[in-house]
Structure 1
Amino acid sequence: MRDGKCTFPGCSNHTQDNENDHLTAWQHGGATGISNLAQLCPKHHRLKHQSSWTPSPASKNEPPGWTSPTGRHYPAEQPDWVPPRLPFGLPAGRSTMPPNIDGGTLDEVGDASGNVSPLEDALIAYLAA
C-alpha cells in the first residue's frame, strides 16, 4: 500500500506485478516490517541482488531511496502517494492473536526497533479474524 509501484528510480511497474523484498535480508537480521520491505519489479529485484545498487532505509510512510554503484543517491520517488486508510469497520489497535510457537505473537513483527505501525496491527487483526 505504501509503495504503489517499483521503488527503483525511474521504474513505474505497478505493485500487482512486483515482488516484496527485504531491504536488509532476513538472514542478516532484517525484520519483516514495513520499514524493511519494498516493492521491486522482478528486473530490479534481480539487479539489487546481483549488483552494487543499494536501497536506503525506508519508513512506514516513505519507500527507500537508492544509491547507485558510483555512489549517486536517488531519493524515494512517490509523487502521487496518498497515505493508506483502514478499511471501513476494521478496528485499530493491537491484535489479540494467540502466541506462536516461540511464545511471541504475530503482532510483534515490526521494524528493527520493534515498532509496528497501526496499519500493520489492523492488517494482522483483520487476517486473524
Structure 2
Amino acid sequence: MLVEVLALLVFMAMAFAFVMREEGDRTNPWKEKADKLEQQVQALERVNRTLTTQIAALKRQISQLEDSIRLLVAEHDGTLPPNGYVTIPGHPLQRRPAKLRTYKPFSTRRGATMPGCGLNWPP
C-alpha cells in the first residue's frame, strides 16, 4: 500500500511538472523576445557570411595588386633582369638600348660583372 501511494505521488508530481512547464511556455513573456533575438542572430549570421566572402574576394584582389606593384617597383628599381635596356651603373636614370651582350642579369645596386674582372660594366 505504501509503495502504491509513493508511485501515485511520483506520477502526480511528474504530471504536475509537465503541465506547469507547458503552461509556462505559453505564458512566458521572455519567449517572444527570445524568438525575436534568435531571428536577429540568424540575420546577422547571414550578413557575416556575405561579408566573409566579400573580404576573401577583396584579399585576393589585394594580393594580385601587390604582385603587380611588386613587379612595377622591381622594374623601376632595376632589380629585374633588363628587358631590352641596360642601366649603366652611376647613371641609374639613363636607360639605353641593350646592344651589347650581358653575361648575367644585373641590377643597378650590384651591376653586372665580367668573369675575372672587377668592372661593374657590361663588356
**TM-score past 0.5 threshold:** no
Higher Rg? 2
TM-score normalised over the length of structure 2:
0.18
Q: Which has the higher helix share?
A: 2
TM-score normalised over the length of structure 1:
0.18
